[in-house]
Structure formats: structure tokens, C-alpha cells
Amino acid sequence: MSEELRRALEAELAGQKSAALAPVVERLSARYREGGAASEPILRTRADASAYAAYRMPATYAVLRHVLGEAAAQRPDLAPRTLLDVGGGTGAALWAAVETWPDLTSLTVFEQAEEASRLGSRLVAGATSPALRSARWVRGVLGPTTALPGADVATLSYVLGELPQALRDKVVDAMVEAADTVVVVEPGTPAGYRRVLAARDRLIAAGRSVAAPCPHEAACPIAGSDWCHFSARVARTSLHRQVKSATLGHEDEKFAYVVATRVPGPHAGNRVLRHPLRRKGMVQLRLCAQDGAVEDRVVSKRDPDAYRAARDVEWGDPWP
């Protein structure tokens, strides 16, 4: 997490007893694990917003940092100035976005939950980035005919799962209308992956080009009981550890995502789909390849340049 966000969160949550937040965290995580559309907002009270910020913001920030970083790496031409975070809650995506694209000038969050919006606004109030400081939370409920404010990039992270099935495509369509680049992130579970896949199909049908993670617009080749997902390492703050009754200093947050752009760009190399298997003198990579197939590739010492690069490559990176 950025040092500045960590300090802002600490200051925001300073008065709160971890013993009081822990049961709220427990209730929220049980609700998110259970999944399913929410008939009413899940984050209702100030305690809900605080608990969410304490235990989820470090993770959603880390994931968004990875995802937006991949978007920027694949498509340096994007250079967005305006960003819309749909269902942005306490605004983790904004903090990741200004680090990824320091030239952003305008940030808008479209959100239904009042206390989450207030908490997010308090967090950005003392930020050094002028764009963060002037971020606006627009109160609104996503519905079948919602028109979203226009932006260069629109993000939708950990929201699709809370929406009724019939609304998901409509929200993706509204994002296509509103933004040149659409970013969708979901938990790295089979169900989260399926929601991302449905959004990807929708984006491609609308003529969008996939910038990440897929190096192609063909049908997803991952089949059977497997699912496409990635992992981000999240350093836990002491409050984070307390409210989750956790002992480890970090956790690995699994996620699925898609970034699609209006203007087509060159596709990434192949995408590394698993932790590389490193053995003496060789690295085995499972790749989503540019021809739209999954392939296992062995890189051996016999190709010293490729081998050196393969020793450093990580799950989620492009290859080569």
C-alpha cells in the first residue's frame, strides 16, 4: 500500500477499537464469501465503512495497482486524464490510479453507499496529489438505464458480484458508453472469473480491444475446472492483522480481471498463467498464447538470454 494511503487509513481509523471492528469485518467477509446479488447496500453504517477500509482497502489497492500497472505497461499510449470508479466504495482504485498515471487530473466515484463515500472523501482530503484531493463522490444507484459520467478510464472493481445477473451486462454497456478504457476486476474465484469472462465477451462484442491480461480477443482457452486468475501480495498493517485475527505479515489476494480499450493496440506477449516451475537449468511456463491457446513452454539454459529472463518472470507477467 502506498505510504500515504497507509497513513491516511491509520489516521481515519485511529479512534476505532479493533475489538469493535473485528465482528463487523467477520460479518462483511462472510457476506462477501457467500456472494450473490445484494438487495440492499452491504456497506450501510459508519462501522461498515471503517471495517471495509481496514480489511479490504489494502487488498483492493494492491490488486488495482497490479491491474492498472499492466494496462499502463501494455498501453503506454493511454495516458488518461480522467477516471471514473463505478461502485468505488472508499476509493481504493483512485489511490492506485494516481500512482499508475500521475497525469490524471479528474477522479470521480459513482457510489450508492453514503458512509463509504464519506470515508473515501476524508481519506483523500490530505493527499499530496491534487487529483486525489479534488476527487468527487457522486451518489447514485446503478440501474438498467443509468448513464455514467464520461471518463478516459472507468474501473469496476469487486462490484459485478453484488449486482443482479440482469444488471451486469447493462452496467458494462454503460461503462462502454462512458469511457475509452474499461477495467473490470473480480475475486479470483471460479465465479469471479466467470463474471469477468462475461464482461470480456460483452466488451469484445462492443468492438473493444483487450489490453490485458489476454494477449488476444479469441475465446478464452481455459476450460474444465480451471479458471484464469492472478495474485497480488498484500502487506498487512497491524490494524489489518488485528481485525482479521491474522498473524502473518502478508496475504495473497487472488483476482480476475480484464482491461479493454476503444483504440486497438499491439497485444502483449503471452501471459504467464501460473507460478513458473523452476527446476535446475530450466523454467516451465504455462502461458496464454497470442494464438488463443494455453501452452506449457520449457525455457532451458540452452537459450541463455531467455533462461535469464524466465528466472525473473512471475505469474501474471507477459512473456516474453
Ligand X SMILES: C[S@@+](CC[C@H](N)C(=O)[O-])C[C@H]1O[C@@H](n2cnc3c(N)ncnc32)[C@H](O)[C@@H]1O
- Judged by the rule CB under 6 A, the positions of this chain that interact with ligand X are 41, 43, 56, 60, 87-89, 92, 111-113, 116, 141-142, 157-159, 162-163
- Which CB, 160 or 287, lies closer to ligand X? 160
In the complex, the smallest distance separating the C-beta of residue 95 from ligand X, rounded to whole angstroms, is 10
- Which CB, 157 or 209, lies closer to ligand X? 157
26 φ, ψ (degrees, to nearest 5): -60, -45
- Which CB, 89 or 215, lies closer to ligand X? 89
- Let me know if 128 is exposed, middle or buried by CB neighbors in 10 A (0-12, 13-18, 19+): exposed
- Which CB, 13 or 116, lies closer to ligand X? 116
Residue-wise DSSP of 123-143: HHTT-SSHHHHT-EEEE----
Decide the pairing of beta strands 82-86 and 151-157. Answer: parallel
Is residue 155 within 8 Å of 64, Cβ to Cβ?
A: yes
- Which CB, 111 or 180, lies closer to ligand X? 111
- Which CB, 2 or 290, lies closer to ligand X? 2
Residue-wise DSSP of 38-86: -SS-S--SHHHHHHHHHHTHHHHHHHHHHHHHHHHHH-TT---SEEEEE
In the complex, the smallest distance separating the C-beta of residue 236 from ligand X, rounded to whole angstroms, is 16
In the complex, the smallest distance separating the C-beta of residue 155 from ligand X, rounded to whole angstroms, is 7
- Which CB, 88 or 215, lies closer to ligand X? 88
In the complex, the smallest distance separating the C-beta of residue 248 from ligand X, rounded to whole angstroms, is 21
In the complex, the smallest distance separating the C-beta of residue 41 from ligand X, rounded to whole angstroms, is 5
Is residue 95 within 8 Å of 135, Cβ to Cβ?
A: no
- Which CB, 243 or 299, lies closer to ligand X? 243
Nine-digit cell at 12? 481515519
Residue among 80, 85, 83 nearest 101 (CA): 80
In the complex, the smallest distance separating the C-beta of residue 146 from ligand X, rounded to whole angstroms, is 8
Is residue 245 within 8 Å of 73, Cβ to Cβ?
A: no
Alpha carbons within 13 angstroms on the beta-carbon side of residue 66 total 27
In the complex, the smallest distance separating the C-beta of residue 166 from ligand X, rounded to whole angstroms, is 12
- Let me know if 145 is exposed, middle or buried by CB neighbors in 10 A (0-12, 13-18, 19+): exposed
In the complex, the smallest distance separating the C-beta of residue 158 from ligand X, rounded to whole angstroms, is 4
Helical segments of the chain, H only? 3-13, 18-34, 46-55, 57-74, 92-100, 114-124, 130-133, 165-178, 190-205, 238-243, 304-312
* Full 3-state SS string of 295-316: EEEEEECCCHHHHHHHHHCCCC
